[in-house]
Structure 1
Amino acid sequence: MAERFAPMATQTKYTEVKGYATYYYYNGATTLPDVVPDFSRGRTILFVHGAGSNGHTWHRQIEAFGKQHSPIALDLPGHGRSAGVEGLRTVHDYADFVAAFLDALKVKSAVVLGHSMGGAIALDLGLRHAARVEGLILSCTAPKFNVTPDRIEGLRAITMGRAPQAFNTDGYSPKTAKENFDVIREGWMEQIKTDPRVRYTDILACAQVDLREAIAKIDKRTMVIAGADDKGTTPADAEFIAGKIRGATCKIVADAGHYIPREQPTEYNAAIEQFVDSLKG
């Protein structure tokens, strides 16, 4: 007979956070609508997605870590299936929202893994909501993003119907484009789950944030991961973060661009597992 509390498949659920019906993914037993799932297995790992993305982009990680840990991936407001037609205005606002999300799920603290914009959100959590953070994993991110005026204007044109959404290979490793194009198609399918207006407001939030000096105050175990072929949030950005946060480690993944979680999931997941297992207590 199977163990009564054996991990189950990925589940989804809604919870109310700051007036937003917030959709999230987890691994474990289903519960009634008003009952918070059990997140006591191993470490609670909170996955925070990037600009214009959604929680389903973490499906490989939810499945991989659900066997020994309690992974959770939310759709931020306006993203995926969560309520809202625009993103929040600042990275600070998103960090406060994520802290409130943990409150709604009765999670005191978690290992926080943030990707791209989610990485900046994770950094801000480490600064202003440090008690909620057991460790930080920062993926393809920067304390200050290189967002050009042309990129902002291009996304604004899409929101106004003056240009179509762009479906291209930007952000991916050349090896991915050549040998694993299905991964890029998957990324395009995730892209259309979120309104272009949300991607636009997210990029505005990214353009405003500058945590380059503040992150030296973070006192949490930290690992920074970057793709060797990422031209947006570069290996130099990762090394800068690791150099600022005391004791932080940095891992550069070959043959990966900005989307390591799906470009190189085996190596990515192994690095996460090693980091999580290294945490004491």
Structure 2
Amino acid sequence: MDTWQYPFEIKYATVLDSIRIAYVDEGQGPKTLLFLHGLGSNLKSWQKNIAALSNEYRCIALDLPGYGKSSKGDYGFRMTFFARSVRALMDTLGLEQVVLAGHSMGGQIAMHLVLHDARHVEQLVLLAPAGFETFTPQEKEWFARVYTPEVVRATPEEQIVKNFELNFYDMPDDARFMIDDRMEMRRHPEEYDHYCRMIPQCVQGMLEEPVFKQLPRISVPTLVIFGENDLLIPNRLLHPARTTIEVAQTGAARIPDCRVEMLPQAGHFVQWEQAARVNELIRAFIQ
């Protein structure tokens, strides 16, 4: 959305021949952090982390293709497509080594990138990542029925507000811009139609390209951070008996060099709700 206000200067780079990527590039330092947002989000979800960490490190965050101020198109939106796009951006910006941080879907994208080619990733930070929770073929069929463009488009405003609130232990006022941005998008039919078609494809992309069995092949030191009060992972409808900490520990145990941090009073948007603590953990991990 060109009309959205971003807290940092937006730059643009063209990758994979024709995809225009919007990104921010703040700070300088001995390491470069590259941030990948999650489903239905954009680079603004990292602003509390960039504001603090850019005092010590170079911090880059992008709008994934199809999101925010980046190019819109019928890209298929598989996780390997996103990973290729991020890798192409790294090449375009000349990034030799990065600390790769991904939230939710962005975490699954980050894992795909590392699994395909870890040479330019020195450390991995996964915040409430998708990919640790596994789904049966029947459960994947349920997602296909539930997440359709028609269902997304028909979601009433009050449910949109509730859906955002479910991302938090206690949604703070300074996160309400996420709701405002979504409501503004609804007033732009072409943008909202693209969003409604893209979201189900992204969900299917996560389901069709799982990473759980490949986790032992992740070869870089990894930090996993979850909020103890995450209401989205695990899926409460399909896996009511599972807990967030069990999903976190089960996934992390498969990664050879990995530690897990569970943060109290934090939901799915842990990097926003407990930004100071997340920033401390990232600093300690990458020093």
What is the TM-score of this pair, normalised by structure 1?
0.82
Partner of 1:118: 106
Give distance in 1, aligned partners of 2:217 and 2:57.
28
Which runs of structure 2 are paired with 1:47-58 in the superposition (5 Å)? 47-58=35-46
Partner residue in 2 for 1:199: 199
In the alignment, what sits opposite 1:37?
none
The question of whether the paired residues in 2 share the 8 Å contact of 1:110 and 1:133 is answered with yes
What do residues 86-135 of structure 1 show as CA deviations (whole Å, max 9, x unaligned)? Answer: 56431111111111110111112200000001101111112111102110
Q: Tell me the residue number matched to 2:180.
A: 189
CA distance in 1, matches of 2:13, 2:26: 16
Q: What letter corresponds to residue 161 of structure 2 in structure 1?
A: F
Instruction: Quote the residue 1:80 is aligned against.
Output: 68
Which residue is equivalent to 1:27?
A: 26
**Does residue 68 of structure 1 match 2:78?**
no
CA drift at 1:22: 0.6
Range moving further from structure 2, 163-172 or 119-128: 163-172
2: distance between equivalents of 1:219 and 1:113?
Answer: 15
- Counterpart-to-counterpart distance in 2, 1:64 and 1:266: 8
Aligned equivalent of 1:14: 12
Q: Relative to structure 2, which stretch is displaced further, 54-63 or 85-94?
A: 85-94
1:248 correspondence with 2:254: no
How far 1:216 sits from its partner (Å)? 0.2
Tell me if the contact between 1:48 and 1:114 (Cα under 8 Å) persists in the aligned partners.
Answer: yes
Matching of residue 172 in structure 1 with residue 168 in structure 2: yes
Q: d(CA) in 2 for partners of 1:167 and 1:227?
A: 20
Segments of 5+ residues of structure 1 without an aligned counterpart are 1-8, 29-39
- CA drift at 1:190: 4.8
SS in 2 for 1:252: strand
User: Which residue number corresponds to residue 280 of structure 2?
Assistant: 270
* RMSD over equivalenced CA pairs, Å: 2.3
Return the offset for 1:208.
1.8
Cα displacement (A) at 1:157: 4.5
Whether the aligned pair in 2 keeps the contact of 1:85 and 1:198 (CA below 8 Å) is no
Residue 167 of structure 1 aligns to a residue in which SS? helix
| Worse-superposed segment, 84-93 or 259-268 | 84-93
Runs of 4+ in structure 1 off by over 6 angstroms are none
* Partners of 1:152 and 1:58 in 2: CA distance: 29
Q: Which moved more, 1:113-122 or 1:40-49?
A: 40-49
Change (3 A) 1:274 1:87: farther
User: What amino acid maps onto 1:26 in structure 2?
Assistant: D
| Residue in 1 that maps onto 2:210 | 210
Measured in 1, the distance between the counterparts of 2:181 and 2:261 equals: 26
Which residue does 2:240 correspond to in 1?
none
Q: What's the CA shift string for 1:68-94, capped at 9, x where partnerless?
A: 100000001110000114564311111
Number of the residue aligned with 1:135:
123
Which residues of structure 2 form unaligned runs of 5+?
1-6, 186-190, 234-243
Distance 2:86 2:227 in 1: 25
The one-letter code of the counterpart of 2:20 is A
Superposed displacement of residue 151, structure 1: 5.3
Alignment of structure 1 residues 201-240 onto 2, 5 Å: 201-233=201-233, 234-240=244-250
Alignment check: 8 A CA contact 2:41 2:67 kept: yes
